[in-house]
Homo-oligomer: A and B are copies of this chain.
Amino acid sequence: MSVDERREQLIAVALELFSRRPPEEVSIDDIAAAAGASRPLVYHYFPGKQALYEASLRRAGRELSARFEEPMEGPLSERLFRVMGRYLDFVQSHGPGFAALLRGGSVAASPGTSAVIDEVRRAAHDQILAHLAVPAPSPGLRLTVRAWIANAEITSLEWLAERSVPLEELQLHLVQEFVASLALTAAREPALATELAAFLADERPEGPSGRLVQDLAGLLAVPGILDALTALAAPTVGPAESSAPGSAPAPTTSGPVDEPSAQATEGSADASPA
A residues near B, CB below 8 A?
Answer: 66-67, 69-70, 78, 81-82, 84-86, 89-90, 100-107, 109-111, 113-115, 117-118, 139-140, 142-143, 146-151, 153-155, 158-159, 162, 164-166, 168-169, 171-173, 176-177, 180-181, 183-184, 186-188, 190, 193-194, 196-198, 200-201, 203-219, 221-225, 227-229, 231-236, 242, 249-253, 255-257, 259-264, 267-268, 270-274
Contact = CB atoms under 8 A, between A and B. Distances in A.
Contacts of A111: 105, 107
A113 B101 CA distance: 12
B206 A224 contact: no
A100 B78 contact: no
6 contacts: A81-B264, A104-B117, A172-B264, A201-B227, A205-B260, A207-B267
Give the 3 A-B residue pairs with the shortest CB-CB distance, closest first: A85-B271, A105-B114, A206-B263
Secondary structure at the A interface, as helix, strand, loop or mixed, is helix
Nearest to A198: B224
Contacts of A117: 103-105
B67 A273 contact: yes
Given A234-B205, A271-B86, A211 B259 contact: yes
Contacts of A183: 216, 219
Which of A110, A184, A252 has most B Cβ within 10 Å? A184
A272 B198 contact: no
B209 A197 contact: no
